Amino acid sequence: MRSKLKLVAIWLFVLLVMLCAGVPTLLWSMGGGEPSIAVDYEAKLNEQAAAVPEGERAWPIVREVSIRFAGLDETDRELIADADVWMSERTRLSNLLKEYEAERDLLVRASTRPGLGFMTSEIQPDDYYAARGEKNRPSTPDSVEPAMLLEVLLPHLGELRMQARFLNADAWMAAESGDRTRFIESATAMLLLSGFPREQPILISQMVGFAK
């Protein structure tokens, strides 16, 4: 009796394995052997950005500043990001801000646009990376298997954070020198820039926006 129950249990287990393996295979074959994704998730990620009229998008300006900021070396970036050393490094910071005066004005102008309009995708235009001396590449190397269902690049997040820090440093310098108008312009632009990363409903984008 016990041996019969054991045999029945074995056959039930085999049947369960066949069902688990066979049903997905059947469904795959019914779909022609190719994934049939009904939702364009990349388009959904870009819905808010796409709604910004092309002529009113801030991204072309932000992109231009990003390319120009590629000339900043690591020590300059550390100075801009570290508010604790601004007082002791006031002269160096002041010279750096003067050197990038035109870029500061561009960021103030970009902040007045109704939206960033950055269209995220797996790859970005070659000229953006070429101007920064970088190589354009997919987010996941071709050798990685299996391929991701959705891959997007978000190069604008780090750049927007850097630009917000630059405006923060400029606002601090303006306050120190008593330039009220410049302080309001830079501080306001910094706060407005913080809304741009949140156009895409991606957790890291939301966190970067709030982190500014």
pTM over 0.85: no
Range ranked top by mean pLDDT from 29-38, 50-59, 198-207: 50-59
Only one residue has tokens 């400029």, namely 170
Distance CA(43)–CA(119), nearest Å, equals 9
Range ranked top by mean pLDDT from 9-18, 123-132, 190-199: 190-199
Question: Using one digit for the tens of pLDDT, what is the confidence trace for 139-167?
Answer: 445 554 445 555 667 778 888 999 999 99
- Are 43 and 200 in contact, with CB atoms under 8 Å apart? no
Q: Which amino acid is at 92?
A: R
- Are 211 and 190 in contact, with CB atoms under 8 Å apart? no
Range ranked top by mean pLDDT from 5-19, 44-58, 178-192: 178-192
Average pLDDT over residues 89-98: 96
- Residue 98, classified by CB atoms within 10 Å of its CB into exposed (0-12), middle (13-18) or buried (19+), is exposed
* Banded pLDDT at 181 (limits 50, 70, 90): very high
Dihedral (C-alpha) 195, 55, 53, 150: value to the nearest 10 degrees? Answer: -70
Question: Nearest-5° angle of CA 123, CA 127, CA 128?
Answer: 65
pLDDT value for 64: 93
Average pLDDT over residues 31-45: 68
Q: Is 57 helix (H, G, I), strand (E, B) or coil?
A: strand
8-state DSSP, 148: P
Average pLDDT over residues 54-72: 92
Range ranked top by mean pLDDT from 41-50, 59-68, 152-161: 59-68
Distance CA(64)–CA(94), nearest Å, equals 22
Query: Average per-residue pLDDT in the chain?
Result: 80
The percent of the chain in helix, strand and coil, each rounded to the nearest 5, is 65, 0, 30
pLDDT value for 77: 94
pLDDT value for 146: 46
